[in-house]
Structure 1
Amino acid sequence: MDMERVLKGSPWTFNNHLLLLHKLQSTEDPLLVPLIYTPFWVQIHDIPAGFFSERLATQLGNFIGTFMEYDGSNLGKEN
């Protein structure tokens, strides 16, 4: 139960270092697991009103990594 909470609640840090975890399957070779990336939510501030869109979010996400998902639920609010 604790392991699932940790795996689903990533990213995690230890001593200010990113900690990447992967639950091994029974046939998986641990030396072949690529622990090289993790998803992050990124919040962008100070975009002028009317300019922020899913297209802009996609472009910004792809600029810093690989865009995965967009949440426009706070558009039009003070956030």
Structure 2
Amino acid sequence: MDLESVIKGSPWTFNNHLLILRHLGEREDPLKVPLILVTFWVQIHEVPPGFFTESLARQIRGFLRNFLEFDESNLG
């Protein structure tokens, strides 16, 4: 239960560095696990009212390498 909450509660940091955790399979070699990707939310602050549109969200998306989705309910 604790392991699952730690994995689901990520991303974590240690000394201001991103800490990537992964549950290893039974026979998985830890030296061969590529710890190169983590999913996290990006929140944009102080956008003037009326300017946060789907178009702006798509422009911001262009700066992120692997963009998954944006919350359309918060536009405007």
| Shorter-normalised TM range | 0.7 to 0.9
User: Structure 2 unaligned runs (5+)?
Assistant: none
Q: Whole-Å Cα distance in 1 between the matches of residues 29 and 36 of structure 2?
A: 16
Deviations 1:22-74 (A, max 9, x none): 00011322111111121110112316615511x54344234222111221222
RCO greater where, 1 or 2, for CA within 8 Å and sep 6 or more? 2
Mapped partners of 1:58, 1:27: distance in 2:
41
Q: Normalized against structure 1, the TM-score is what?
A: 0.75
Number of positions where the alignment pairs a residue of Structure 1 with one of Structure 2? 75
Partner of 2:53: 52
Gapped regions of structure 1 (runs ≥ 5): none
Over the matched positions of the two proteins, sequence identity in percent amounts to 60
Q: Which amino acid aligns with 2:69?
A: E
